[in-house]
Structure 1
Amino acid sequence: MEKARPASLASSDSVRVTNPGGSSPFVLTCDHASNFLPAEFGTLGLAAEDLSRHIAWDPGALPVATRMAQALDATLVETRISRLVIDCNRPLDAPDLVPQLSETTAIPGNAGLSEKQRAARIALSWQPFHTTIERIVEERLARGQETRLVSVHSFTPVYKGRDRPWHIGIIHDEDRRLASPLISALKRLAGVTVGINEPYSPADRVYFTLERHARSRGLPCAMIEIRNDEISGETGQRKWADLLTGIFSDLEPEEATRPRSHSVRKSVQSAS
C-alpha cells in the first residue's frame, strides 16, 4: 500500500496532474495508478496481501509514466484511489465499474451497494478523473496544441492460471496511427516479445478512457501494457520508461488512414 497518504481523500484530491503545462504532444494517463483505499472503505473485506496484487492497481505503471512525463515534458493524469473502489477505465453502466469479483477473488465490500453508495464512489474518483482529462484536452485543443493520448498500464504475468509471454503489449482499435509506429519500434528491440492487442484488446472493453477522450475527438491514441514483473523495481521501471521515452521522442503518427472520430462505445470488464 502507498504510504504518506491521508486516511481519506476528498474528490478534489483523488486525481493528480503532473506537469499540466507540458509542451509535448503526448498526454499520459495512469488509470490504475494507486492501491490506496480511503479509510471509509476499510479493506473492502480483503486480506492485506490482496491489496498489493494487480486486482487493486497496476503495479509499476505510475513510476514508468512519471519518468516518461518528466523526460518528454508531457502532462500526466493519474488516479489516486484503488480500482477496487471504482474502476476509472470503465463506463458508468459497466457491470465491473465497482468490481465484485477480480480474477478469482471476491470483493465482499463491493457487494450489495445502494445507488447512493455507488454515486458517492463515482463522485469521489471516477468523475474527477474524467473531468480533469477532458479539461486538459479541451484546453490544449483550444490553443492549437497537438495532442496524442497514451494510457500506461501493467498486467500480471499469470492470469487465471495462464502464462502471458509478452513483455509489453500495445492495445489499439481501428485507429492505428500511433500504435503502428510504436509496435514497429518495439519489435526492433532485441529480446522483447511484443503483444499486439495482447493481453487485452478493445474487444475486452478495456479501452474506455481512450475512447472517451481521444477517439471521440479523432485524436491519435494507444494503450501500453507492461508485464508487471518487468517493472517491479526501480531498475526495470527506469529501463522501460527510458526505452519508451526514446521511442516516443521520435514517434510520428501515421497519417495514411485517419479515422473519423466516433461516439464512445459502451464497454465493460477485465482486470490487468
Structure 2
Amino acid sequence: MNQTQQMNNDAVVEVLNASGASDIVLVCEHASAFIPTALNDLGLSAEARHSHAAWDPGAKAVACEMARQLDAPLVASKVSRLVYDCNRPPDAPSAMPERSEVFDIPGNKKLTRNDRETRVARYYTPFHDRLKQVLSTKPDPVVVTIHSFTPIYQGIQREVEVGILYDQDTRLADAMLEVETGTFVTRRNDPYGPADGVTHTLKEHALPQGRRNVMIEIRNDLIETADAQTSLAIQMSRWVADAVTQSKDISCRV
C-alpha cells in the first residue's frame, strides 16, 4: 500500500487502542455522521445529516469507553452510513440507500454501477480490510459490534432498551442473556435481526471463522449524555467480559 492509499484509508476508518491486549475486538460501523465535502452533503438538510438515519448517536462514545474498560481495540468508521453502510454488503440496496427512515437521500439516487463501485472501493473495502487485519493479530478473537437505535421508529415506541443480536452462532448471545442482571429491558434479535440484513459484519468476520460474536443495540435515549455513555459502557463491559468467559469452552454449532 502506498502513502496516498494509506492516507485515504485513514480518512474512512480508524483503530482506537490498537495495542489493546484483549481478544475482544470492538466494532462501530455507524460511529460517524461525517459526509465528505465532495458529496455535497448528499443533498440533505441539516436535520437529516444529524439524525439517526445518518449514524448511531452515542454508539462510538460507548464503544470507546468499552475499549478502555476491556483493553480492547476498536475499529470504527469515520463516514456516515448514508455514504456507505459498512454493515451491509456491496450488493445490498441499503448499503447506499435512496431513502432512510423518513428521509430521501438525493445524493444516492440514480447511482451508476461505477458510482457504486467507487464507493465500495473508497469506504467499504478499507473498513473491512482494516478490521480483518486487527482480527488477525488475536489468537482467539471475539467480535462485538456496538450500535444504537432510536426509541421511536415510524411512530411506534420501542420498549426494548438493549438488543442482543446474532445470526447463526448463538454462543456469546446466549451467555450474555444468561449473565444479564435485569438492569435493562433486554431481548434477542430485537429491534432488529438477521432478516433485516443487519448481521453482515458478523457473517463476514466471525461466522466463517468460528469466532464468537454478538451485535449489541442500545436505545439511544439511554446514552444521550457523556455521563450516561460512560456509565452504560462500564456496565456493558462487565457484561461482555463475563459472557466471553462463560462462553469460552462452548463449541461453535454453526
Indicate the TM-score class for this superposition, using the shorter chain for normalisation.
Answer: over 0.9
Q: How many residues get paired?
A: 246
Alignment of 1:102 with 2:94, yes or no, is: no
- The 2-side partners of 1:226 and 1:93 are apart by 27
Q: Deviations over 1:45-78 (max 9, x none)?
A: 1110111111000000000000000111101000
Q: Secondary structure at the match of 1:259?
A: coil
- The 2-side partners of 1:255 and 1:173 are apart by 20
Sequence identity, in percent? Answer: 40
Q: Deviations over 1:175-211 (max 9, x none)?
A: 111111111222x234x21121100011211000111
Partner of 1:137: 135
In the alignment, residue 182 of structure 2 is paired with which amino acid? L
Partner of 2:217: 225
Listed as ranges, the matches of 1:1-272 within 5 Å are 10-140=8-138, 145-186=139-180, 188-190=181-183, 192-251=184-243, 252=245, 253=247, 255-260=249-254
Q: Deviations over 1:82-140 (max 9, x none)?
A: 00101110011101111101112111111011222222211221110000111122232
- The 1-side partners of 2:34 and 2:168 are apart by 34
Q: Which runs of 5+ in 1 are unaligned?
A: 1-8, 261-272
- The 2-side partners of 1:139 and 1:244 are apart by 24
- Structure-2-length-normalised TM-score: 0.93
- The 1-side partners of 2:238 and 2:12 are apart by 30
Whether the 8 Å CA contact 1:176–1:254 is kept in 2: the answer is: no
Q: Secondary structure at the match of 2:191?
A: coil
Q: Secondary structure at the match of 2:44?
A: coil
Partner of 2:4: none
In the alignment, residue 209 of structure 1 is paired with which amino acid? T
- The 2-side partners of 1:212 and 1:134 are apart by 9
Partner of 1:4: none
Q: Secondary structure at the match of 1:130?
A: helix
Greater helix proportion: 2
- The 2-side partners of 1:39 and 1:245 are apart by 36
Alpha-carbon distance, 1:217 to partner: 0.4
- The 2-side partners of 1:152 and 1:210 are apart by 12
Q: Which runs of 5+ in 2 are unaligned?
A: 1-6
- The 1-side partners of 2:94 and 2:240 are apart by 32
Q: Secondary structure at the match of 1:200?
A: coil
Alpha-carbon distance, 1:254 to partner: 5.7
In the alignment, residue 167 of structure 1 is paired with which amino acid? E
- The 1-side partners of 2:16 and 2:248 are apart by 28
Whether the 8 Å CA contact 1:68–1:244 is kept in 2: the answer is: yes
Whether the 8 Å CA contact 2:167–2:202 is kept in 1: the answer is: no
Q: Secondary structure at the match of 2:221?
A: coil
Q: CA RMSD in A?
A: 1.4
- The 1-side partners of 2:159 and 2:197 are apart by 21
Alpha-carbon distance, 1:23 to partner: 1.0
